[in-house]
Chain A
Amino acid sequence: MSPLRAALRKDLLLHWRTRAQVVAVYGFGASALLLFSFAVGPSAGVLREHAAGFLWLGLLLSSTLTLAESFHAEAEHRALEGLLLLPVSPRALYYAKALANALALAALGAGLVPVMVILYDAATPRIPALLGIILLGSAGLSAPGTLYAAMTSQARARQTLLPLLLFPLVVPVLLAAVKGTALLIHGDPMGQLRSWALLLVCFNVIHWSLCGLLFERVVED
């Protein structure tokens, strides 16, 4: 079995075993969406107009929990170090973890869509396109997020450091994903969705390669 497949198997198994936490994170995300509506007021028009933004803000905030948790199991008893000493290629470990995180975030995002539909009356008939944007956005959050989660799991003040480092970097993801989602909800007369999706793809290509290259430097002592 290739190291990447072996590592992916490990990470998916870990995610499956800790699936109870996923429920908790989902609850956090859903309550964030609820709080946004309280903050903005019950005007249906306003809520619908900003639904895309709320969805992605909720997902972004929840992502810090998921990402941090993904390295908690690795750092707790130095399990990741144990694997690196076998030796296992750090790159394989990174891509497996980032992929598993991307899938987890995409599942979370997809799960929050019904909440968005109900609370903000914001639906779209183009479900596959919406899932595509959610997948691209989740991948964009996961690539740098996994690297920084690995870093901050070893540092002090890790709860504050991860969002502090990650949020400025993923501004393009937030902008593109929100715009893309808004176009799907409100209509896309000028066909701009493609451009935003392309931006997400570019972001992903750059960060998945760069972070994969740099991960080894972050986990070696």
Chain B
Amino acid sequence: MRADRFPYAMLALGFPLLLWGSYWGLFLAPGETYMGDVQRIMYVHVPTAWNAMLALTFAFACAVLFLLRGDPAWDARLEGALEVGVTLSGLLCLQGAIWAKPTWGVWWDWDPRLTTTAVMVFAFGGILALRQFVDDPVKRATWSAVAAVIAYVDVPIVYFSVKWWNSLHQTQSSPETVSRAFHWPLRINAVGMLFLMTGLISLRARLAALRRDEELAPPGPR
């Protein structure tokens, strides 16, 4: 069945693209003038950033749709999108730290985008924690959707406040602000990651939906 194979098709497309783009970026692309090989992390960092934002935006859309329609399928997708989004955001912070240490000598440089991402990990991760502590499936879905909407709307505010807060101190750069010599490995990785992410969200949503079906089973006969 087509629908059944969809996530696996996505994963099958994504993995090779990611491998190809990473190989190209890590070994074949020319090194950056000032920073050398450290800058190559950008080939993973930028796609991760794009896809993390996409995942969380999709989560926001699922939340709004659930609140408007009440269809539990959107809650299942929300769960998948949240998990993948939080994971990618966490990876983003890790990548940022890995880049910052050799470049600036510190693990964390309070770059506004990365700091906002860290806040997002806590905000959206907190929603995943909330889901563990609510037994009623309808309440769990409604509350997660409400929290996801509020958290997402807050993201730009957090970004601006951190940016102003940080601007008084230093203007350190992050991998993206460095001039890029080669776009192609980056784009290939971004698309590869997009396929991977879609496949993972789809699989995760399916798992959540199966669990939901079990919970929502109608009363048995006498």
- On A, residues with C-beta under 8 Å from B are 144, 147-148, 151, 154-157, 161, 164-165, 167-169, 171-172, 175-176, 179, 195-196, 199, 202-203, 206-207, 210-211, 214, 217-218, 221
Enumerate chain A residues within 8 angstroms of B190, measured Cβ to Cβ.
none
Partner of B150, one of A144, A156, A202: A144
Q: In the complex, how many angstroms separate the beta carbon of A187 from the nearest chain B beta carbon?
A: 14
Asked if B154 is an interface residue, CB under 8 A from chain A, the answer is yes
B161 touches A168 (CB 8 A): no
Enumerate chain A residues within 8 angstroms of B146, measured Cβ to Cβ.
147, 151, 214, 217-218
Listed from nearest, the 8 A-B pairs whose CB atoms lie closest are: A168-B123, A172-B161, A168-B122, A156-B133, A175-B161, A164-B126, A214-B146, A165-B126
Which applies to chain B's interface (DSSP): helix, strand, loop or mixed?
A: helix
- On B, residues with C-beta under 8 Å from A are 67, 119-120, 122-123, 126-127, 129-130, 133-135, 139, 142-143, 145-147, 149-151, 153-154, 157-158, 160-162, 164-165
A164 touches B129 (CB 8 A): yes
A195 touches B133 (CB 8 A): no
**A214-B150 contact, Cβ under 8 Å, with A157-B133, A165-B126:** yes
Enumerate chain B residues within 8 angstroms of A195, measured Cβ to Cβ.
164
B149 touches A168 (CB 8 A): no
The 22 listed contacts between A and B (C-beta, < 8 Å) are A147-B146, A148-B147, A151-B130, A151-B146, A151-B147, A155-B134, A161-B133, A164-B126, A167-B122, A168-B119, A168-B151, A169-B154, A172-B161, A175-B164, A179-B165, A199-B160, A202-B157, A210-B149, A211-B150, A214-B149, A217-B142, A218-B146
- Give A165 to B130 CA distance when docked, in angstroms: 8
B129 touches A169 (CB 8 A): no
Given A171-B162, A172-B158: 14 more A-B contacts, CB < 8 Å: A151-B130, A151-B143, A154-B139, A161-B130, A168-B151, A175-B162, A195-B164, A199-B164, A210-B149, A210-B153, A214-B146, A217-B145, A218-B143, A221-B139
B154 touches A161 (CB 8 A): no
A210 touches B150 (CB 8 A): yes
- Give A117 to B139 CA distance when docked, in angstroms: 45
B161 touches A199 (CB 8 A): yes
Enumerate chain B residues within 8 angstroms of A148, measured Cβ to Cβ.
147
Enumerate chain B residues within 8 angstroms of A202, measured Cβ to Cβ.
157
Enumerate chain A residues within 8 angstroms of B120, measured Cβ to Cβ.
168
Give B162's nearest chain A residue, CB to CB: A175
Of A171, A175, A179, most buried by chain B (CB within 10 Å of CB) is: A171
A172 touches B157 (CB 8 A): yes
